[in-house]
Amino acid sequence: MAVIRATEEEIRLLARLIRAEAEGDGEMGMLLVGNVGVNRVRGDCLDFEEIDTIKRMVFQSPGGFEAVQKPYFYQHARDREIRLARRVVQGERYDPATYALWFFRPTEACPPTWYNQWNSGRYKSHCFYHPSPNNCPSVY
């Protein structure tokens, strides 16, 4: 059962996002980015109180994803990314993005905190950050 509502158009939009943000990190990297996106829709907290659809999450500004400002975001979603997007919308979660609301790609080691959020781990090129359960219980 889906953990957030998603139209077919939104699934394709999420698929484009995960491809643009993490294609170089393989399927698991794309699933982790998808987890962050789904968590932002579920969250209703912090910077994401008005983010209640995939479309709003993808195009959130400020505070959204850098990839949507780049030409490669506008490539078509492929079957692989569509399948991955469906999996995260159905509730599949993976560490270190299980409760993460943020990620970024540092040039060095992951800092222990990022904008006062805790590092939950690194997967290949991305560091993931989660809020405390007190600040965003709906993600947990």
Instruction: Express each pLDDT in 2-39 by its tens digit.
Output: 999 999 999 999 999 999 999 999 999 999 999 999 99
Give the pLDDT confidence score for residue 1 in this predicted structure.
85
Asked, for residue 46, whether it belongs to a domain, the answer is yes
Decide if 109 is inside a domain: yes
Q: Does residue 1 form part of some domain?
A: no
Whether residue 3 is contained in a domain is answered as no
Q: Return the structure tokens found at 7.
A: 């139209």
CA 54, 56, 58, 63 dihedral sign is negative
Does 2 reside within a domain? Answer: no
- Torsion over CA: 74, 87, 84, 97 (sign): positive
Global pTM value: 0.96
Q: Range of 129's domain?
A: 8-139
Flag whether 93 is in a domain. Answer: yes
Write the pLDDT tens digit of every residue in 66-115. 999 998 899 999 999 999 999 999 999 999 999 999 999 999 999 999 99
Identity of the amino acid at 69: Q
pLDDT of residue 5: 96
83 lies in a domain?
Answer: yes
Residues 103/32, Cβ–Cβ less than 8 Å: yes
Query: Does a structural domain hold residue 62?
Result: yes
CB atoms within 10 A of CB 25: 18
